[in-house]
Amino acid sequence: MRPAFPKLLSSQIAFDIARTILDGFDKHYRLFREASRDAKRYFEQRDWKTAQKEARDRIAFYDTRVQESVQTLEDEYDQAELSDEVWREVKLHYIGLLINHKQPELAETFFNSVCCNILHRTYFHNDFIFVRPAVSTEYIEPEEAAPTYRVYYPAKDGLRFTLKRIITNFQLNGTFADLDRDVGFVEARMRAMFGGDLLMEPNHQIQVLASLFYRNKGAYVVGKGINGNRIYPFVVPILYNRKGELVLDTVLFDPTLITVLFSFTRAYFMVDMEVPSAYVHFLRSLLPNKPRSEIYTILGLQKLGKAAFYRDFLHHLRYSSDCFEVAPGIRGLVMVVFALPSFPYVFKAIKDYFPPPKDTTRAIVKEKYLLVKNHDRVGRMADTLEYSNVAFPRSRFSEELLAEFKEVAPSLVEEEGDEIIIKHLYIERRMVPLNIWLTEAEKRGDHAAVEHGIVEYGNAIKELVGVNIFPGDMLYKNFGVTKHGRVVFYDYDEIEYITDCNFRDIPTPRNEEDEMSSEPWYPIAKNDVFPEQFGTFLLGNPQVRKYFMKHHGDLLTAKYWRDAKQRILDGHVEDVYPYPQELRFSYKPQLPAVQAA
């Protein structure tokens, strides 16, 4: 530790601190890009296990680099040296260093993270950090040879030739089963998209992002067709067939399906981006209703997504007047859940204590939520944003909500003047709880909606099982329905790995005394699960039972779960299709059985 410094050196100290923080960020993004580039190699080698591990490990890169920078600054400077005057200059020097930087918005967020680890929260909304972006991300051009996107002109070269060149330009080290055939499939659907004999305008072109988007066992081509003032987004998934050959699996044009592909319920993409803001700008032209925060997040830049979301939230608070209130639905034993009716998200805080039968702790609940953050969510688990020390206007809290906090989570609440500080919370996209959705559908007499909800519920569980996730508490209230009608799991305090569970059949009673016993007569371990008992809690409604047994009766058998567990233990990685099966080029509809005469 060095002695106090002369005042004349404060500017140099400030510059050195700014340089140290930016060096920390540059190291982070260099490693981030290396991991993203490696995804291409894992895809080519079909090394799915390593690809999954690298995707999980990459999530932790940011916090590791932040802590390294914090440690460097704390080791180098005494607290007395870091005066308010120095911190003001640090920010100014940092802005100067970001001129011509390729990721200024990410670097600003990194700066905030380092500062907020050193400063008290009373400094969070002042001149020392980037409350708003200071450096524009408009028209930042990459320095590397590869542009952000490539432009093709099918009117000149022909659509089929253009489509084939789009695929071959990615230079995948693999053999296509029949690229000409697959390109023909894409061409046929694309011509239908452009309207058959539709007049081609002078600006007719196809723009394709220069990097593939890797996730699970797929690589995705993302682009858009332009004709006049119309934009036609499209995505082409590249997969392997059973012979280990590459195929174009389908082409997606429907903005709803593309939105689901980029959903908050899925794992982050691995994409090599020199200028991430340019990728976000391109994607927003395809998905104009998706917030920038969600696009940054799905690209693996979740810290900036989190910061951008919070800015959107503060903006919404300023231009709204409704109050936070207890969220509708059955109140849980673990979380206080509240919402702002005009804002499409819910806020969840862990209670201080949990009444029986819950047997958990705050630390364990946090571990479960971190597990979900790092896991492949396969479109069936909602991503969460985790915040500490969030300030809410006291005037916007309903008395009922504040009373509930003081009763069940007093350690999390502080009142400071006209603000309420929640020390720790999660924020999730708001959905309609499945139990409410089913009840409302039944009241309307909408049997198709009830069946759809049960089909989706079972599909959600089976897709989670495929990635080694057992929901634990499978009650309908722990699942939600998105605006696209998909059922998503969102209550994680009892989540477990399938491979950690022991799925058992209920033993046959040995005698009449066993059969009449009010308590299980057989030993039960903590990780034992009896699927036969699920129906007791899930199938009380006759209509729900009918549809459940029709589509997902296998979920009530221990054999289904044991077989799934064995596939995971054998190292099998399930295929995940984030689009309807019937859109696949290889899809063959099942024909009804022909009865003998």
Residue 215 Cα distances to 54, 299, 372, angstroms = 11, 10, 16
Residue 343 to residue 429: CA distance in whole angstroms: 9
Residue 137 to residue 105: CA distance in whole angstroms: 7
- One DSSP character per residue, 129-170 reads S-SS--S--TTPPPSSSS-SEEEE-HHHH-HHHHHHHHHHTT
Residue 448 token pair: 């198709």
Residue 409 to residue 384: CA distance in whole angstroms: 20
Residue 170 to residue 320: CA distance in whole angstroms: 47
Burial state string for 153-166 with b = 16 or more CB within 10 A and e = fewer than 16: ebeeeebbebbbeb
302 alpha-carbon distance from chain centroid: 9
Rounded to 5 degrees, φ, ψ at 384 are -125, 150
Residue 8 to residue 117: CA distance in whole angstroms: 27
Residue 277 near residue 105, CB atoms below 8 Å = yes
Query: In the beta sheet, which residues pair with residue 291?
Result: none
Cα angle 507-544-497, degrees, rounded to a multiple of 5: 50
Residue 62 near residue 28, CB atoms below 8 Å = yes
Q: Give the residue numbers marked as catalytic.
A: 383
Residues with Cβ within 8 Å of residue 480, at least 6 apart in sequence:
382, 431, 432, 433, 434, 487, 488, 490
Residues with Cβ within 8 Å of residue 305, at least 6 apart in sequence:
293, 294, 295, 296, 297, 298, 385
Region class of 565: left (phi > 0), else alpha (psi between -120 and 50), else beta: alpha
Among candidate residues 52, 461, 60, the one with its CA nearest the CA of residue 267: 52
Burial state string for 211-229 with b = 16 or more CB within 10 A and e = fewer than 16: bbbbbbbbbbbbbbbbbee
Please classify residue 453 by burial: count the beta carbons closer than 10 Å to its beta carbon, then call 0-12 exposed, 13-18 middle and 19+ buried: buried
Peptide bond preceding 357 in cis form (omega within 30 of 0): yes
Among candidate residues 27, 162, 189, 5, the one with its CA nearest the CA of residue 106: 27
The pLDDT score that the predictor gives to residue 597 is 31
> If you ran DSSP here, which 8-state letter would residue 348 be given?
E
Residue 51 near residue 39, CB atoms below 8 Å = yes
Predicted model pTM: 0.90
The position carrying tokens 């923080």 is 21
Residue 247 token pair: 């195929």
Residue 355 to residue 103: CA distance in whole angstroms: 47
Residue 393 to residue 380: CA distance in whole angstroms: 33
3-state secondary structure (DSSP) of residue 35: helix
Residue 234 near residue 252, CB atoms below 8 Å = yes
Residues with Cβ within 8 Å of residue 454, at least 6 apart in sequence:
438, 544, 547, 548, 551, 552
Helix H or strand E encompassing 570: none
The pLDDT score that the predictor gives to residue 121 is 56
pLDDT in tens, the chain (597 residues): 454 445 556 788 899 999 999 999 999 999 999 999 999 999 999 999 999 999 999 999 999 999 999 999 989 988 777 777 888 899 999 999 999 999 999 999 999 999 888 876 554 546 788 888 899 999 998 987 778 999 999 988 899 999 999 999 999 999 999 999 999 999 999 888 766 546 778 899 999 999 999 999 999 999 999 988 889 999 999 999 999 999 999 999 999 999 999 998 888 999 999 999 999 999 999 999 999 999 999 999 999 999 999 999 999 999 999 999 999 888 888 999 999 999 999 999 999 988 888 888 999 999 999 999 888 888 899 999 999 989 999 999 988 999 999 999 999 999 988 999 999 999 999 999 999 999 999 999 999 999 999 999 999 999 999 999 999 989 999 999 999 899 999 999 999 999 999 999 998 888 888 778 878 888 889 899 999 999 999 999 999 999 999 999 999 999 999 999 999 999 998 888 899 999 999 887 654 444 433
Residue 263 to residue 381: CA distance in whole angstroms: 10
Residue 477 near residue 330, CB atoms below 8 Å = yes
Residue 497 to residue 211: CA distance in whole angstroms: 33
The pLDDT score that the predictor gives to residue 1 is 47
Query: In the beta sheet, which residues pair with residue 481?
Result: 432, 487
